[in-house]
Structure 1
């Protein structure tokens, strides 16, 4: 039985969660709304693809904030960062898969301040590809291609019984299942609801190691 060369994991909702949400970026956008700035669909893309602090994000979005308000928003962000917590099944699954010789990547859409905390939680991950670092969000094909290059693997080039040698799993059908499949990566959906097909990452790791992912 051949195992996949690499497995790519989504971040938030898949391997890590924010235990205490304060929504600092919503606070920032509300400041702009109070100034007459109309939020647009591009705001999320800008926040997720720009490598900047939250104070710098205000400048990028042309939102004026006082020093005192900036401090309040930064404190809210710090509360979220302090509450980052890996899922226990994620840590166990990564150890299982890594011990089996499978390279592990994390590919995620997220704002820059969350990157350092994410990386500190997962020392056994071989590579991270994050939207704010490369300026592209899932499900754009480039982010998956960069992830595979970082892992030293090629999606869609090495097939075994119809399955790719590169797998991805996450909690978004669009970004973690369908997007990867479009570039030759076998995408799977994690649904932490009781009774779902893949309720946790240990379940998924056992599937992979048993050769049941095709």
Structure 2
């Protein structure tokens, strides 16, 4: 049997392994309210939210505001709705199990607000390491978040195959760091098997 070119596979989560149907986007609601209060939106607002490990109140206070109780209740309701409608794509769990059985190390590398990441982690089978933006304190495509899982898995970039649904964060930056990377187009019916075929050959 020829030596495998990769030791590990790293995955983006949302749009790659998991989907949220009809997302209510509670964080967008909060940012809209902050704008109404006179706060000027900043280009890195979304990145900031996903790199802070905390609830709505914590994040609002970071921006210097206190959320009114009705808005907070509405956002928590939206959040519960999103978490309830979060599902793994049909092929995600079987493929992760198969890769694990074939001896690959598996990593998650994903931008997510805390509750979304925690819920996603509970849906998926246990993997070797996790580089969540809210835990690492950095978002893709910041090299820090990729370095986190490389260090945790004790892998060189050229030993890792990265898969995700966003060109810059999941293909361009991993390739720049020396990984192999491929986009998955779930909207057009592409499956993990389509993308990972070379790795799944026994």
Shorter-chain TM-score bucket reads over 0.9
- 4+ residue segments displaced more than 4 Å: none
1:207 lines up with 2:198 in the alignment: yes
* Matches for 1:53-202 after TM superposition, within 5 Å: 53-155=55-157, 164-194=158-188, 199-202=190-193
SS in 1 for 2:108: strand
In 2, the alpha carbon distance for the partners of 1:185 and 1:97 equals: 18
Deviations 1:140-181 (A, max 9, x none): 1111111111222122xxxxxxxx321101001101111111
Distance 2:69 2:36 in 1: 16
* Backbone CA RMSD of aligned residues: 1.6
Give the corresponding residue for 2:3. 2
State the alpha-carbon separation in 2 of the partners of residues 2 and 19 from structure 1. Answer: 40
> How many residue pairs were aligned?
200
| Distance change >3 Å, CA 133–CA 100, structure 1 → 2 | same
**Equivalent-residue separation in structure 2 for 1:151 and 1:120 (angstroms):** 21
The alpha-carbon deviation at position 204 of structure 1 amounts to 2.4
Using the TM superposition, give the Cα deviation of residue 209 of structure 1 relative to its aligned residue in structure 2, in angstroms: 2.7
- SS of the residue corresponding to residue 46 of structure 2 reads helix
Q: 1:77 Cα deviation (Å)? A: 1.1
2:49 & 2:143 partners in 1: Cα distance?
19
> Do the aligned residues in 2 keep the contact of 1:48 with 1:109 (CA within 8 Å)?
yes
Give 5+ residue unaligned stretches, structure 2.
none
Aligned to 1:21: 23
Work out whether residues 169 and 190 of structure 1, in 8 Å CA contact, stay in contact via their aligned partners in 2: yes
Query: Are 2:8 and 2:105, in contact at CA under 8 Å, matched by a contact in 1?
Result: yes
Three-state SS of the structure 2 residue aligned to 1:88 is coil
Is contact 2:50-2:111 (8 Å) kept? yes
Higher alpha-carbon deviation: 179-188 or 201-210: 201-210
Structure 1 residues 138 and 69, CA, compared in 2 at 3 Å: closer, same or farther?
same
Q: Structure 1 residues 21 and 193, CA, compared in 2 at 3 Å: closer, same or farther?
A: closer
Query: Equivalent residue for 1:52?
Result: 54
Instruction: Give the 3-state SS of the residue equivalent to 1:36 in structure 2.
Output: coil
Contact 2:182 2:195 in 1 (8 A): no
Normalising by structure 2, we get a TM-score of 0.93
C-alpha separation in 1, matches of 2:188 and 2:45: 34
Please state how far the C-alpha of 1:206 moved relative to its aligned partner.
Answer: 2.2
